[in-house]
Structure 1
Amino acid sequence: MARSGRPILTGKLGPSSSIDKAALCEQLGVSRFPVAAAINRLAFERLVVVQPQDGSFVAKIVLKDVAPSKPTSRRKGRPGNRPACSPP
């Protein structure tokens, strides 16, 4: 997970906290697109709930549901670097 989820996992932003996209853009000095992409990624990771017309909110997090990501190898010949269409 990118550092964008850190305030959620550390409790700085609690469950149901509203996420102000405009404030994040200004704080980080970026346009709306990277902020929207980060929020979509956090929604995919179930850390954020996106409600159309209402906004984005921090999801209720159950620690057992937050699995650490497995590192993948970028070295040739390692299982994490196989093309999707190649045989195992």
Structure 2
Amino acid sequence: MLMPVDNTINSTDKFDFKNQIKIVNAVVASYIGHPMRLQDACNQLNQYIMERRLQPITVGYNVTKKTDMLSPENTEIDVYVGISPNIL
């Protein structure tokens, strides 16, 4: 899981702080809704990848852009999957 932060955090034995990540040649699904239904967006993204015969080279990375504890249906999450640039 990737989580954006607005300052540097010390790494611990439970997580690593990455100042920057770079996923080249990725497809992304932008999801707005209750986190419990995020799997539906992931399934649609996987179907998109399969229909276009793309070759994933990473797992899906979730980036939480917005959370709302009072209205979780307003949560915003982007899901990134790195795709092979090779055309075979």
Taking structure 1 as the reference length, the TM-score comes to 0.30
Query: Could you say which structure has the greater relative contact order, defined with CA pairs below 8 angstroms and 6 or more residues apart?
Result: 2
Which structure: greater strand fraction?
A: 2
Taking structure 2 as the reference length, the TM-score comes to 0.30
Which structure: greater helix fraction?
A: 1
